[in-house]
């Protein structure tokens, strides 16, 4: 495989889509050896086929705000690859959403979904709509308008969207409601649904729980555990909340959260009622984490800074892509970090990732470490298909097993001669082989 040519062609065909190019480069560099050793992949031209989405649906969303003014947003659904199952991936509502950004997330989703061992293809969607500062009625009207177009392209055996940044249970409720009205069917076309209309217990917590379970497995390889360790977490959204909850349950002390305005350091640990308060802070629909320090005055706020300068044993970046750069990574390494587990998608820049790998830090990339969210979505689909609801313990146990299996697959394909496990390589190779083999089995279609 001529990696340089593939990447330069990709750049020419996708100008300005830097995050997509970054994600593809990372995957291709780590699977290069497997492709060379297995001529069948080159013979079927798998690489050029896997980096091109099956289709991108791009549409206009028109809705009326509370002042009676008509607003227009742009929306997308990137259906990237359905070789191993129906398209599956979240929807993001955030002003930064672009076609290129969703291509990056959809591409990552192919490998992440493959790693879960469940039959799910890769997709991602969203809109540049900003839910911040909008009223409940405005959010409902936007979600309804969004679904009035998207419903044509999704279905329980075709494409099953879910939540992501800016899309939680409330938004899924509005979108699902409109889908049901238009199609006339109560089917499992969304995951992350409300508990009393088809949702699964543990789904809201699953991504954060999974990132902690993955960190636990990584630590075990060095004879370590979670109890007694200090953790830095970024973000204060859904994934951060899940990770902080599980870290507390397993006996760790969480000392940071962050928002676009800066980070909060709480030397007493973020536990108990403070975790409940995180939900309140998020629901307040503001863009800031600082109010935490008004509620809990022992905590300090650091404006415009990121939490990675705080000494910790474990780091959980759970906010957004490229939120941890080389300087942050070096700070963490200098301060003796043992494990980094990505709750967010691609939160570490390539330079940061290389620093972790060079220093043999236990580094769990998002496509493995945060796969617990989509895995539990898969479990929600199974419950919908069986028309059954599993107990909380049953879902959590299955999630835990899936995270252990993902860790095992990473070790299988990522263990180096000196015993160090390169989880980036391991997750990419394990995810790739399954999808590539399915593409070959199904022929050129």
The half-sphere exposure of 284 on its side-chain side, counting CA atoms within 13 A, is: 14
- Give whichever of 371 and 439 is closer to ligand NDP, judged by the CB atom: 371
* Cβ 108 to ligand NDP shortest distance, Å: 9
Give least dist CB 55 to ligand NDP, A.
Answer: 21
Toward ligand NDP, which CB reaches closer, 1 or 92? 92
41/111 with CB nearer ligand NDP: 111
Closest residue to bound ligand NDP by CB: 237
Instruction: Determine which one of 88, 124, 253, 274 is catalytic.
Output: 124
> CA-CA distance, 260 to 171, in Å (whole number)?
22
Please report how close the Cβ of residue 287 comes to ligand NDP at its closest, in angstroms. 4
Catalytic residue at 67? no
**Would you say 193 and 172 are in contact if contact means Cβ atoms under 8 Å apart?**
yes
- Which residues would be at the binding site for ligand NDP (CB under 6 A)? 163-166, 207, 234-239, 258-260, 287, 318-320, 323, 343-345, 370, 373
Residue 47 or residue 125: which is nearer to ligand NDP going by CB?
125
Q: Which is nearer to ligand NDP, 221 or 286 (CB)?
A: 286
The CB-of-1 to ligand NDP minimum distance in angstroms stands at 29
Residue 335 structure tokens:
């301060």
CB of 7 to ligand NDP, least distance (A): 24
Minimum CB separation of residue 350 from ligand NDP in Å reads 16
Nearer to ligand NDP, 305 or 404 (CB): 305
Task: Select 53 or 166, whichever has its Cβ closest to ligand NDP.
Answer: 166
Shortest reach from residue 164's CB to ligand NDP, in Å = 5
Active site residues: 124
């Amino acid at each position: 495989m001529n990696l340089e040519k593939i990447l330069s062609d990709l750049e020419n065909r996708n100008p300005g889509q830097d995050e997509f190019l970054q994600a593809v480069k990372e995957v291709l560099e780590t699977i290069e050896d497997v492709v060379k050793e297995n001529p069948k992949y080159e013979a079927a031209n798998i690489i050029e086929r896997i980096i091109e989405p099956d289709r991108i649906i791009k549409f206009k969303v028109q809705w009326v705000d509370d002042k009676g003014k008509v607003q227009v947003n742009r929306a997308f659904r990137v259906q990237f690859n359905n070789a191993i199952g129906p398209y599956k991936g979240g929807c993001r509502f955030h002003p930064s959403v672009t076609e290129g950004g969703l291509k990056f997330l959809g591409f990552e989703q192919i490998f992440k979904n493959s790693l879960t061992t469940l039959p799910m293809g890769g997709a991602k969607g969203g809109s540049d709509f900003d839910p911040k500062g909008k009223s409940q009625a405005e959010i409902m009207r936007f979600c309804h308008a969004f679904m009035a177009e998207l419903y044509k392209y999704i279905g329980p055996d075709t494409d099953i969207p879910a939540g992501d940044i800016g899309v939680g249970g409330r938004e899924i409720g509005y979108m699902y409601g409109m889908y049901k009205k238009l199609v006339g069917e109560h089917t499992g076309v969304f995951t992350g649904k409300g508990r009393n209309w088809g949702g699964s217990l543990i789904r809201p917590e699953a991504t954060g729980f999974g990132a902690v379970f993955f960190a636990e497995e990584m630590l075990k390889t060095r004879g370590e555990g979670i109890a007694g360790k200090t953790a830095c977490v970024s973000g204060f959204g859904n994934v951060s909340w899940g990770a902080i909850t599980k870290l507390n349950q397993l006996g760790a002390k969480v000392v940071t959260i962050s928002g676009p305005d800066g980070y909060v350091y709480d030397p007493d640990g973020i536990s108990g009622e403070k975790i409940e308060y995180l939900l309140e802070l998020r629901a307040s629909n503001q863009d800031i984490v600082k109010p935490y320090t008004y509620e809990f005055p022992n905590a300090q706020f650091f404006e415009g800074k990121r939490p990675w300068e705080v000494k910790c044993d474990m780091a959980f970046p759970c906010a957004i892509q490229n939120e941890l750069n080389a300087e942050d990574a070096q700070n963490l390494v200098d301060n003796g970090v043992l494990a980094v587990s990505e709750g967010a998608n691609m939160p570490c820049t390539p330079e940061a990732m290389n620093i972790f790998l060079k220093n043999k830090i236990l580094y769990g990339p998002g496509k493995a470490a945060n796969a617990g969210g989509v895995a539990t979505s898969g479990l929600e689909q199974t419950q919908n298909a069986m028309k059954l609801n599993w107990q909380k313990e049953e879902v959590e146990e299955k999630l835990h097993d899936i995270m252990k299996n993902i860790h095992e697959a990473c070790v299988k394909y990522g263990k180096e001669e000196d015993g160090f496990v390169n989880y980036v390589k391991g997750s990419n190779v394990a995810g790739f082989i399954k999808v590539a083999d399915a593409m070959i089995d199904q022929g050129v279609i």
